[in-house]
Amino acid sequence: MKKYILGLLAVTVICSCGNQKKDVEKAPIRVKTEQVNASDSGSGQTYVGIVEEREATAVSFTGMGTVKRVFVSEGQSVSRGQLLAEMDDTQARNLLSGAEAQMTQANDALSRYKMLYDNGSLPEVQWVEIQSKVAQAKSQLEVAKKNLADCRLVAPVSGIVGKKMVGAGETALPSQAVVTILDVSSVKVKVAVPEAEVNDIAAGTPTVIRVDAINRSYDGGQIEKGVAADALTHTYDIRVNVRNTERKLLPGMVASVRFKTSRGPSQGGDVLIPITAVQKNTDGNCFVWLVGKDSTAHRATVGIGDTKGNRVIIQTGLESGQRIVVEGYQKLSEGTKVVY
């Protein structure tokens, strides 16, 4: 009987250990992948770019005072004429009240002296002096009205609030930006192009813009070429105009820009992948991480060719339709489960 009980306990311990092993199985590692596609090669060069706003407008008060309220926040869409902020207008209202009183006094004097002037009992010089005082009072009243109106800051253009530099309770100085408004109805994608390749790009060169952050591709428009090279990198800034009717492209997003130029034509079977996805073994051979149908990672030895921008041609080892890991491969080992 004792032997039977000991055997039963042994079986129970073994089963529990087996369950524990299942429980401690490693969780899948999250990675970013890209599907290999030979059609992505085409002819041309690919670069990394940054999305920029079409235009940035700094909005500020014309006078100095304490900011009472700010009605917008960063990233908020605003329309032209919309109220953005208010300044404490106590002093401006007092000045307006004084100007209105002077205007009333001047008009009253004008009406009384007009009767004398019409009767011929008021010299012409005094009549001109009364009219001059009325004009001065009117001018001061208009200035006071404008000072009061300037305590309200309204949007001069439509767009998205980029940065808010001044908050409630702070002192705003003349021409000090309170907020910036970004026009993103269309955007520009800026890329740095080496001097040896800049002459292959014209104002009308076709481009394809890929933004992974929103998983969208766009056809680029007019190209603006810079004329001053960077002294260190010997590259020229080129900006590609892109329509942004849905306003999904935001300043600061990273984009992949492919210029369809005639330089470096590639064969139809070429495969282009990001350079950063290629690694080297201790024996010097290059490899990438392939994701199998069972969502496990496997090393695949590849032969590489010429680079095109931030991508490299894979001559052997990959086929169109396969999926490779482009980010997060640092924690991978053979057979690791992944999610993407």
Query: By mean pLDDT, which of 149-158, 249-258, 266-275 is the weakest?
Result: 266-275
Query: By mean pLDDT, which of 23-27, 66-70, 192-196, 254-258 is the weakest?
Result: 23-27
- Residue 305 makes CB contacts below 8 A (sequence gap 6+) with 270, 312, 313, 314, 315
pLDDT per position as a tens digit, 109-153: 999 898 888 888 888 888 999 999 999 999 999 999 999 999 999
Q: Decide which of 129, 150, 171 is a domain's last residue.
A: 150
- Residue 327 makes CB contacts below 8 A (sequence gap 6+) with 31, 32, 276
For residue 210, being part of any structural domain is answered with yes
What residues form DSSP beta bridges with 243? 186
Query: By mean pLDDT, which of 77-86, 174-183, 308-317 is the weakest?
Result: 308-317
Domain of 279, CATH number, reads 2.40.420.20
Domain of 125, CATH number, reads 1.10.287.470
Q: Decide which of 259, 288, 312 is a domain's last residue.
A: 259
Residue 262 has pLDDT above 70, yes or no: no
| Mean pLDDT (whole number) for 294-309 | 88
| Mean pLDDT (whole number) for 259-275 | 67
For residue 6, being part of any structural domain is answered with no
What residues form DSSP beta bridges with 130? none
Q: Both 193 and 255 in a single domain?
A: yes
For residue 178, being part of any structural domain is answered with no
For residue 78, being part of any structural domain is answered with no
- 41 or 144, greater pLDDT: 144
Structural domain boundaries, residue 327: 29-42+267-339
Domain of 201, CATH number, reads 2.40.30.170
Residue 263 has pLDDT above 90, yes or no: no
Q: CA–CA separation, 32 vs 273, rounded Å?
A: 13
- Residue 48 makes CB contacts below 8 A (sequence gap 6+) with 191, 254, 255, 256, 257, 309, 310
Q: CA–CA separation, 187 vs 245, rounded Å?
A: 10
| Mean pLDDT (whole number) for 47-69 | 93
Nearest CA among 242, 239, 247, 243 for reference residue 159:
247
Q: Both 276 and 333 in a single domain?
A: yes
**188: helix, coil or strand?**
strand
Please tell me the pTM assigned to this model: 0.54
User: Can you read off the two tokens belonging to residue 132?
Assistant: 């001059």
For residue 122, being part of any structural domain is answered with yes
Q: What is the mean pLDDT of the chain?
A: 86
- 11 or 54, greater pLDDT: 54
For residue 62, being part of any structural domain is answered with no
Residue 3 has pLDDT above 90, yes or no: no
> Structurally, how many domains does the chain consist of?
3
Predicted local distance difference test score (pLDDT) of residue 310: 75
Q: Decide which of 259, 279, 310 is a domain's last residue.
A: 259
Residue 44 has pLDDT above 70, yes or no: no
- 135 or 13, greater pLDDT: 135
Predicted local distance difference test score (pLDDT) of residue 27: 87
